[in-house]
Structures are given as C-alpha cells and as structure tokens.
Copies of this chain bind each other. A is one copy, B any other.
Amino acid sequence: MQTREIRLAARPSGAPATTDFELADVTLREPEEGDAVVRNLYMSVDPYMRMRMNDVRSYTPPFTVGKALTGGAVGEVLESRAPDLQPGDLVVSQLGWREHFVAKAKWLEKIPAGPIPPTAYLGVLGLTGFTGWYGLKEIGNPKPGETVFVSAASGAVGSVVGQLAKLWGCRVVGSAGSAAKVKHLTGELGFDAAFDYHAQSPAQALLELAPEGIDIYFDNVGGDHLDAVLQNMKDFGRLVECGMIAGYNEATPVPGPKSLPLVVTRRLLLKGFIITDHWDRRDAFLADVRPLVESGRLKYSETVVEGLERAPEAFIGLFGGANVGKMLVRLG
C-alpha cells in the first residue's frame, strides 16, 4: 500500500521554513499479528516540535533528518490483526505527519464512543488539555479569589488554563497576539481581562489589568512577558513554566529576565514540567475535564488546515499566531 509522509529535510536555523520539510511517497509494510492499519484523519502540530528539530539533548530525542516527523494524530482503523481493534474504530496515536501507518495496536488508544468529536482528543482532552490542567492544578495550586495570568491565552493550552481558572474561582487575565483574539478571550471564553501584546507591552498591561499583582503565572512564552510578570508577582506566587515559545526560533540563546532576583525577595516558585512525566494523573484529568467538555462549560476552538502537504505551513504558523485554539491538519 502506497501512502505519503512529511520528513525533516533539514534542521531549521532560526525560524523554520517550508524548505526544511519534504513530502515523500512510501510503501507501508504488511501488517503482522497484533498490528493495525490506520488512515489518519487529523494530525496535531505543536510548538514543542520545534525543539525536537534541533540536534540537542532534551526530554525527547531529536527528530532525524531524512525521516518522517511524529506527533499526535487521530485516525480510523482500516484493518486489524489485534483483538481489541475493529475496522472503523477511531484511535489516537503519536504517528502524525503521514496519511496511513501500520503499528502495533498496543501503541494506539481507542477513542470512546460519545458526543465528543474525535479531534478533541488531540486538544482539550489530549496532551494540550492535560498540560493545562496539570500545570495549573498541580503546580499553580489555585485558590478562589487569586489572580491568574496566562500568556498565549488563546492557544490550545492557554485557553484551557484560563477557563479552568475561571471555573475554579480565580480572576483571569490573558495575553494574545491580536485584537480579535483578545475579544475571543474576554467574550466567548469569559476571561476577566486580556490584552494584545503587539499593541501594549506586557509590563504596562499588567500594571493596568492586575494592579494588585499576580498569584499564578502560566507561562507559555518566556521572553519579555516573563520579565514583566516577575515585576508584578505577589509574594509567594507560583510560575508554572510550561513553555517559552519566544525563544524556540532563536539561533543563539537570548538573555533571561533581568527581574529574576525577585524570585528570592518575593519567595516565588518557578517549576518546569513536561506532561509525559505525569501519566499517573491522566485519569484524574479526564474525570475532571471530560464532563466539562461534554456539558459545554469548557469551550475549545480549532484552526484546521487542509492536506498533509500543508502541514509544514500549519506548523510554521504556530510561531506567527496563525491559530486560535488547537492547530490541526486534516488529512486524506
């Protein structure tokens, strides 16, 4: 069987370009006992993938030049030689960036029947939702009445964090990269306040929108946001260090926040985390969040790009703010 995949053609230097990717035709291997053949319906592109494109030791091995990329995907089983899967079943895998694959069934997670669309399992009920829930709850430890600030708040992680913080009784401020996104945050998603960081510096905006200071910062961006936040943290505040997208495309590291010494005088906690260390909390996450999604109390958005050949464009768009909510690529 013939299919197509996207390979890493070259390691990006700075911002990734479409020439760093190549579309390739491949022949699938024959399924063996225990395998399933899957047709991918949607794949996920996520900022963390940029770091895996560098040849640097990190929490996951780097992608290999000349080989297919990987990432979250939702697909339909076409053929199964495993007892737990039937043709027509929908599954989540880490075998995105390709239209079909053959894999051991044990690496595939069946999506339960129900009213929730399968793409939700790549976003609000997938790793991005789990990331937001875990970081806010387990590191941020929010209490009703506290002020939570979320950067990149209209993104896949940030939009979950902000809404959960509201549901848990906090005052929520968010930043995003356009006036339309700001309107989405304070309108549909119910944030108390938000600002466009292209129109106003985080330092100035936080003075105005969180005048009494910030208890919890959920950091998706690093950079000048982090410096401004440190200056506006309350004593004993918590900084949930989820990502620092501002630096992912820098060829050489940029200086850190000049206000870091406030970590001592204000007794701040900064804690980095990677969600795949915390599978033991996944059932608790689903028990908490799935009912909120089913009932519509937790909203989510998707930005869908059509076609495997446009996956590099979708990925590159993450760094320019092309997405509201989860960025997905529809395949096939």
Contact = CB atoms under 8 A, between A and B. Distances in A.
28 contacts: A59-B265, A59-B266, A226-B260, A227-B256, A242-B264, A243-B264, A244-B261, A247-B261, A253-B258, A254-B258, A255-B256, A256-B257, A256-B258, A256-B260, A257-B260, A262-B272, A263-B270, A263-B271, A263-B272, A264-B273, A264-B274, A265-B272, A265-B274, A266-B272, A267-B274, A267-B277, A269-B271, A270-B270
Pick the 5 closest A-B CB pairs, nearest first. Answer: A256-B256, A255-B255, A253-B258, A264-B272, A256-B260
Interface string A249-292: 00001111111111111111111111001000000000000000
Interface in A90-142: none
A196 interface: no
A252 to B, nearest CB: 8
A137 B166 CA distance: 35
A1 B115 CA distance: 85
Interface of A is mostly: loop
A316 B82 CA distance: 74
Nearest to A265: B58
A263 B217 CA distance: 15
A235 interface: yes
A51 interface: yes
Contact of A253 (B59, B259, B265): B259
Nearest to A273: B267
A241 interface: yes
Contacts of A254: 258
A222 interface: yes
Nearest to A268: B272
Contacts of A258: 253-256
Contacts of A260: 222, 226, 244, 256-257, 260
Contacts of A222: 260-261
Contacts of A274: 264-265, 267
A72 to B, nearest CB: 19
Nearest to A236: B277
Nearest to A258: B253
A11 to B, nearest CB: 17
Q: Which of A243, A266, A270, A273 has the most CB of B within 10 A?
A: A270
A130 B34 CA distance: 60
A221 to B, nearest CB: 11
Contacts of A272: 262-269
A202 to B, nearest CB: 16
Nearest to A248: B261
A158 to B, nearest CB: 15
Contacts of A277: 267
A259 B253 CA distance: 7
Contacts of A263: 241, 270-272
A54 to B, nearest CB: 11
Contacts of A242: 264
Given A269-B270, A269-B271, A277-B267, A253 B261 contact: yes
Contacts of A241: 263-264
Interface string A208-239: 00000000000000100011000000010000
